[in-house]
A and B are shown apart, each in its own frame.
Chain A
Amino acid sequence: MTERRQPSRTGFDPALAGKRAECDGGGLVPGTHFAGRQEFTGTLTGEYVDHGEPPWRWYLMTDLSDKPEGFPDDAVWCESESVFLVDEPAR
């Protein structure tokens, strides 16, 4: 497999810290070639990671009040464009 390592940079956005948000998440279901959707509601910590160049930003969400049944963790990383603040203006 060709290695194409990309740098990752961490950061913190104080404007988002403590904000409640929903995440329209999901990804490739391991072992299949299908995408699977998972939804979360929780609190953004403000922490983020930018993967690669151009940066692909991911936010950390904790205190999950809504998550898939049986989801074992209390935190999840959410891709920035999949995060919707709970008090965002109506569409």
Chain B
Amino acid sequence: MTLLSVRDLEVAFTLRHTAPWPWQTPDVVHAVNGVSFDLEKGQTLGIVGESGCGKSTLIRAIAGLVTPSEGTVTLEGQQVAYHSKADLTRLRRSVQMIFQDPVASLNPRMTVHQTLEEPIRQFFPDRSAAERKRNVKDLLDRVGIPERNANRYPHEFSGGQCQRIGIARALAAEPKLLLCDEPVSALDVSIQAQVVNLLRDLQREMGLTLVFVAHDIGIVRHISDEILVMYLGGMMEMGAGRDVVTQAAHPYTQALLSAVPVPDPDVKVIPQILTGDLPSPLNLPTGCFFRSRCIHATGACAQRPALRPVGATRAACVRAEEIARIPA
């Protein structure tokens, strides 16, 4: 069953301060440019891309923290109207989020118990104080925080523990979809695996659907059923996790993959170093978003390519078949 369906989602931010007078036109940042995907219940979608490619903005838009400017989001078959209070309430009951900075995502003046009790109070107002207390205990159990720590403040915990508390808070609403905004990039490598495994266990136990954003394709590969590769707010490639990693069709995905360190001294990886910077999202390039940095770019790339099946995955590249024949 399709839980989440996103169609042609666009998010643009108008920079009002660039046009102080009414006759000036303000600059517009095009953060997300036409993203579409479907997510089955219980599956995990990984979103990768370099910093500033709009992946966080995309899931913030799905969560309703920023308002999409174009496109639709459909949750359990019902389209979400982001301006309607009733719809937002429905959205918040089923979609929760965990954040990048585990410490900053907790109110420093609230104990863990207070932090977890708040969503329970909000979403289940008819639960009694005793029920809420048991609820908090269950949540802490789930994420592996000893209950005796419930009355501590966030600064007394490590980053990994804070992230577990953040996960517990997201679970308090008993959501169906959990959006993870780079949940492990601020953590130690050893802790990263723990948190990712915790998310997988929770997913299995509670039938959660995950959207997992990261700039590290190695972690995303570990957790995702499907992977979406984003660049400059647009979709570059999408496909089953294994296929995107082993048979990447898009030159950008190939470049990303070549940057992943391989823990084997005998494997020779020729890194493809991307030159230049991400183009400014203020002035989107014409044609293919990636062509200014693509080593395979030709005149044909002046037309913006749509996502189409190429081999095992779907890629937005007109030359994908030709590139596949070039020996690496």
Instruction: Report if A and B associate in a common complex.
Output: no
Contact surface of B with A, Cβ cutoff 8 Å: none
Contact surface of A with B, Cβ cutoff 8 Å: none
